[in-house]
Structure 1
Amino acid sequence: MAPQVRVRFAPSPTGYLHIGGARTALFNWLFARHHGGTFVLRVEDTDRARNTEEAAAAIYEGLRWLGLNWDEGPHVGGDFGPYFQSQRTEIYQRYLQQLQDAGHIFEDQGALRFRSPREHVIVDDLVAGKIDFDLSNEQTHPDMTIRRPDGSWIFHFVNVIDDMEMKISHVIRGEDHLSNTPKHIELFRALGVEPPRYAHIPLILNRDGSKMSKRDQGASVDYYIK
């Protein structure tokens, strides 16, 4: 019996819902509905200096306007909450301790870094195919920071922990995250957990081929709502 499909959309509440983010949410929602799975909304609000309640509200409004209802997350709950990263510190501390006990963590000027095993990582992506990432060179692939000196968490670590804890089966996200994936797989392996399947979708570009930025007209879902 195949495992249940569980996907997630994990925006940061630092601004409006970008049209690229909305498309990513749509792909996740469609994948969940097609497979009779679960669509999770997770709020990655670890950037305390930039997070706003207004931005979070705009994300909820944009998703609802698009008809992308979520099965687990803010306002609806679920078995794998809390669904705000700012409320999951105890969970992160527990897995950090597990990695420390196994010798995978070292301190560097107050920050905590993950000690890379220095190996090749094959990413079998559902869109891009198999890609061999060589992480053996410390100069080009330094050991990643997972917690800053001020105690705040880095995206890579909490992203992996949340995907693992929430039993995410497929990660569907923009191709700008493809280079992060081998780092995430290293963390999954260090924790003794099978990584989810990955699918990295092309970015939405302007007519001149440049990446659509938040400053471009029409980049916000709010632009179409109003």
Structure 2
Amino acid sequence: MTAGAKKAAKKVVVFDYGFGNVRSAERALAHVGADVEITRDYDRATAADGLLVPGVGAFAACMKGLREARGDWLVGRRLAGGRPVMGICVGMQILFGRGIEHGVEAEGLDEWPGTVEQLNAPVVPHMGWNTVKAPEDSQLFAGLDEDARYYFVHSYAVRTWELEVTNPNIRAPKVTWATHGEPFVAAVENGPLWATQFHPEKSGDAGAQLLRNWLDTL
């Protein structure tokens, strides 16, 4: 690269399947230097350097919308090729095996075993700023202080991490926890698949640094 030349921005697609704050995610990613596109086009989303899957609302409705947009195939195809995917909020929840809301059970993408269920807390939804406990070797939280706070809006979460890795040749996922009434999974780093229960696009400087960390892996 010649002196003074700029490195090309990473191409990130925010997948628009009707269930996410796509404009907020677009602005946050552009702010940290990504070349961002909002689309539900399968081929463009497949070809991007990174795919961000947002999500708001009910687990079952999000899964229905994702399947109708072929998002389940898209996520599977990208991960099979080792191509980065990041889920946010319900976009993280649907990566697990199943979700139960108001007695209704729905199947997720089952990238990780586990159940999304209501938090056992004095007050739900969990709405506002909270700290997290990340592994020391986390790439997602690199450069961030332990007292950094992130913005959560949810009533449901994964309360128990069920995936056990016994093969020493396979790297176990890095799991970050938060507490609201009880511990719950706040983020996961698993090869090309990363996810957060909180909203980095609404988490100020800490969220921006986290998104930069993700872009640096693309």
Same fold (TM over 0.5): no
- TM-score, length-scaled by structure 2: 0.30
Q: With the length of structure 1 as denominator, give the TM-score of the two structures.
A: 0.29
The higher-RCO structure (CA 8 Å, 6+ apart) is 1
More helix by share: 1
